[in-house]
Copies of this chain bind each other. A is one copy, B any other.
Amino acid sequence: MGIIDTWGPWLRHALELAATIAFTLSGVMVAARSRLDAVGVYAVAFLAAFGGGTLRDLLLDQRPFFWVRHVEYLWGVLALATAAMLFMRQRHFEPTERVMQLPDALGLGLFAAVGVDIAVDVGMPALVAVLMGVVTGVFGGVLRDIVCNEIPTAFRDHRPYALCAFIGGWVYLGLHALQLPEWALLSVTVTTIAGLRLLALWRNWRLPLWRVER
């Protein structure tokens, strides 16, 4: 357990970093596709990286925000977006959707797990806690797409994304009822969500089609 206590926070930190990087890059890519200027790229990168957690904290009335407690993450997103712009300019390089899938799935899992965790801590009912996890994982991307004047990908591409976070939220609550320690809760939840998401992409799962034609 001593070992886990040591690598637990380190692992969480590493995952948080990977998630923020993935979401920042997704922001830069969507902003590029929408032909925003440099200021727009920064704005969308911030929204993608911090939008979900900030909305959750607004709804749960939790302060200070993550990016106030950890200003170094704000600087990091600023630097990363700058680097991405310079790099894309020089190399005509665009990180493919495929390369982003692993960090994005980890990001979804981590953000959603942390979201449920916080909501449970402040005493939210089960369904609300699960939905707060979904909001944390998904609404950064939703706000990113709204600012870029698109219907949010999470709501229209028929691939399970928010659904993985929703299922993972219930897994978290189940394990929480069994009184597992927090590091176990978080790592199982993150693995479940990221695993489901990657499995869904690999097996090409689709959300149930609820309407064949218009």
Q: Identify the A interface with B (CB < 8 A).
A: 31-41, 43-44, 54, 58-59, 61, 63, 65, 67-68, 71, 74-75, 85-86, 88-89, 124-128, 131, 142, 146-152, 154-158, 160-163, 207-208, 210-212, 214
The smallest beta-carbon distance between A131 and chain B, in angstroms, is: 7
Least distance between A207 CB and chain B CB atoms (Å): 5
Do A71 and B36 form a contact, CB below 8 Å, given A65-B59, A151-B148?
no
Contact among B38, B124, B210, B212 for A86, CB-based, below 8 A:
B210
With A38-B210, A43-B162, A68-B124 known, 13 other A-B pairs at CB within 8 A are A32-B211, A32-B214, A36-B155, A36-B156, A37-B157, A37-B158, A37-B210, A40-B151, A43-B142, A59-B65, A68-B128, A71-B126, A88-B211
CB of A125 within 8 A of CB of B59, answer: no
In the docked arrangement, what's the CA distance between A210 and B126, Å?
46
Which 6 pairs between the two chains have the least Cβ-Cβ distance?
A40-B155, A85-B210, A37-B158, A71-B125, A149-B151, A39-B162
Expressed in whole angstroms, the Cα–Cα distance for A125 and B64 within the complex equals 11
Chain A interface, >50% SS class: helix
Give the chain B neighbours of A158 by CB distance below 8 A. Answer: 37
Closest Cβ of chain B to A132, distance in Å, is: 10
Contact check, A127 vs B61: say whether CB atoms are below 8 A apart. no
Contact B128 A71 (CB under 8 A): yes
Which of chain B's residues have a CB closer than 8 A to the CB of A31?
A: 155
Chain B residues with Cβ below 8 Å from A125 are 68, 71
Q: Are A146 and B148 in contact (CB under 8 A)?
A: no
Contact A147 B155 (CB under 8 A): yes
Cα of A85 to Cα of B211 in the assembled complex, Å: 7
Q: How far is the CA of A163 from the CA of B39 in the complex (A)?
A: 7
